[in-house]
C-alpha cells in the first residue's frame, strides 16, 4: 500500500450551523493519523505520509477488529484531566529514544480516536456514503483501552458547538452524510468549526529577547500564498523556558544567511532559518499578520508546504 492510496480527506473552515444532511462530531485536539491494521500489526501514518508507528507502541489493534485488513482515519490524542491536550501529546510526539518511549507509554498513554473507515477486508469503501462507512466502522471495530470510536450527532450542530465551547474543546467537524471519502482533497463536504482560531505556521527565523529570554524572544512565522512564502507575524507568548532550551540546537542547525520570504520584512536583528519546522498557533484574528498569536506546540505531522495562509 502506498501513501497516495490513503492520504486523508481535509475540511474547509466554516461557522456553526444545523442541518439534517450533516453529522457533527468533536474536533479532537491531536495528531491526525491513518491506521492500517492486519492480522499481526497496526501501522500508523501521519497526514504527510511518515510512518509514526514506533512512537506509539501501545496503538496496536489487530485483536480488536473483524474483517481485517482494515484502514481507519482518526486522531491520536493524549488526555489530561479527562480532556484532550495537545501540549501533553507533544511530550510523546517528539520522542525518538525507545527507552524514553517505553517509559512515556506508562506516564503519558495515548488514544486513537477513530472516525472513518477507508478499507474493510482489504476492499476500498471510500466511495460509500459516510453514513454507511460509520455503520461499518461500528460493525468491524471493538473499542478498547487505547481505541475509541468518535461519537456524533445528526442535525444538531449548534448544540454541539455550544457543548464544546463550554467544555473548552477545540471545536466541531460537520460532515455530509451522503458524501464519499475524497482522499487527499479539501472539500466542503467536511466543515471544521473552531472555537479558537488555529493555524499551522512555518518557523522562518527568530528574534532575541530580554533577561531570561535573551537567546530567543520570539519566533518569526511564515505561511505559503500563491506568491510563495510570506511573513505573517512573530510569536513569543506561550513559549516556555524549557521550550527555548530544547530549541537551541535545532535552530542553530537550520540557520541561514538570507531571508526565506519573498518580501523581506523589516525585522531588526532577525536570525533567519531554513523553513523546515512547523508549529501550531492560536490567534485572535487574521489581518496582514496574525493578531495576538500564542504558541501551542510543534506539528511534526505537517510539512511546511501544508501551511497555507488561506487555510487558517
Contact between 270 and 207 (Cβ < 8 Å): yes
Distances (CA, A) of 65 to 29, 121, 132, 212, 213: 25, 10, 18, 52, 50
What are the beta bridge partners of residue 70?
A: 37, 120
Q: Among the three residues 175, 194, 213, which one is the final residue of a domain in this structure?
A: 194
Which residues fall within 8 angstroms of residue 173, CB to CB, at 6 or more apart?
A: 11, 24, 25, 26, 27, 190, 191, 192, 193
Instruction: Tell me: do 231 and 139 sit in the same domain.
Output: no
Asked if 172 and 129 sit in the same domain, the reply is: yes
Let me know whether 104 and 121 are in one domain. yes
Q: How many other CB atoms sit within 10 Å of the CB of residue 12?
A: 12
How many angstroms separate the Cα of 40 from the Cα of each of 36, 43, 50, 221?
11, 10, 20, 43
Residue that terminates a domain, selected from 176, 194, 212: 194
Out of 161, 194, 227, pick the residue that ends a domain.
194
Residues sharing a CB contact under 8 Å with residue 154, sequence separation 6 or more, in sequence order: 20, 22, 23, 24, 177
- Which residues of the chain are modeled with pLDDT < 70? 1-5, 212, 284, 311-312
Count structural domains, the chain.
Answer: 2
Domain that holds residue 241: 197-311
Give the tens place of pLDDT for each residue, 229-277. 999 999 998 887 777 777 778 888 999 999 999 999 999 999 999 999 9
Does residue 217 share a domain with residue 123? no
Centroid of chain to Cα 279: 10
Residues 6+ apart with CB under 8 A from 31: 46, 52, 75, 76, 77, 89, 93, 300, 301
Question: Which set of grid coordinates corresponds to residue 58?
Answer: 501501545
pLDDT value at position 39? Answer: 87
Backbone angles phi, psi at 158, to 5 degrees: -65, -40
Distance CA 42, CA 35 (A): 6
- Write down the pLDDT at residue 56: 95
CATH code for the domain in which residue 260 is found: 2.40.50.140
**Upper half-sphere CA count for residue 259 (Cβ side, 13 Å):** 17
* DSSP bridge partners of 297: 280
Same structural domain for residues 15 and 154?
A: yes
What is the predicted pLDDT for the residue at 42?
94
- Identify the pLDDT of residue 154: 97
Amino acid at each position: 500500500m502506498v501513501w497516495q492510496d490513503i492520504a486523508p480527506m481535509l475540511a474547509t473552515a466554516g461557522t456553526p450551523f444545523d442541518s439534517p444532511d450533516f453529522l457533527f462530531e468533536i474536533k479532537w485536539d491531536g495528531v491526525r493519523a491513518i491506521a492500517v491494521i492486519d492480522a499481526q500489526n497496526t501501522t500508523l501514518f501521519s497526514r504527510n505520509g511518515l510512518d509514526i508507528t514506533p512512537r506509539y507502541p501501545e496503538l496496536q489493534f489487530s485483536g480488536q477488529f473483524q474483517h481485517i485488513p482494515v484502514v481507519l482515519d482518526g486522531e491520536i490524542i493524549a488526555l489530561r484531566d479527562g480532556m484532550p491536550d495537545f501540549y501533553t501529546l507533544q511530550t510523546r510526539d517528539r520522542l525518538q529514544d525507545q527507552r524514553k518511549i517505553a517509559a512515556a507509554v506508562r506516564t503519558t498513554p495515548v488514544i486513537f480516536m477513530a472516525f472513518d473507515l477507508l478499507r474493510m477486508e482489504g476492499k476500498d469503501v471510500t466511495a460509500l456514503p459516510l453514513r454507511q462507512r460509520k455503520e461499518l466502522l461500528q460493525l468491524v471495530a471493538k473499542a478498547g483501552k487505547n481505541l475509541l470510536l468518535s461519537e456524533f450527532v445528526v442535525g444538531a450542530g449548534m448544540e454541539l458547538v455550544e457543548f464544546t465551547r463550554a467544555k473548552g474543546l477545540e471545536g466541531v467537524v460537520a460532515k455530509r452524510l451522503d458524501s464519499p471519502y475524497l482522499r487527499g482533497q479539501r472539500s466542503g463536504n467536511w466543515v471544521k468549526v473552531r472555537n479558537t482560531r488555529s493555524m499551522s505556521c512555518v518557523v522562518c527565523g527568530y528574534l532575541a529577547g530580554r533577561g531570561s529570554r535573551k537567546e530567543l524572544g520570539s519566533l518569526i512565522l511564515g505561511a505559503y500564498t500563491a506568491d510563495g512564502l510570506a511573513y505573517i507575524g512573530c510569536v513569543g507568548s506561550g513559549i516556555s523556558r524549557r521550550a527555548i532550551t530544547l530549541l537551541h540546537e535545532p535552530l542553530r542547525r537550520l540557520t541561514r544567511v538570507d531571508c526565506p520570504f519573498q518580501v523581506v520584512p523589516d525585522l531588526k536583528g532577525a536570525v533567519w532559518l531554513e523553513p523546515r519546522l512547523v508549529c501550531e498557533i492560536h490567534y485572535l484574528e487574521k489581518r496582514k499578520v496574525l493578531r495576538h498569536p500564542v504558541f501551542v506546540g510543534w506539528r511534526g505531522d505537517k510539512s511546511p508546504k501544508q501551511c497555507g495562509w488561506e487555510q487558517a
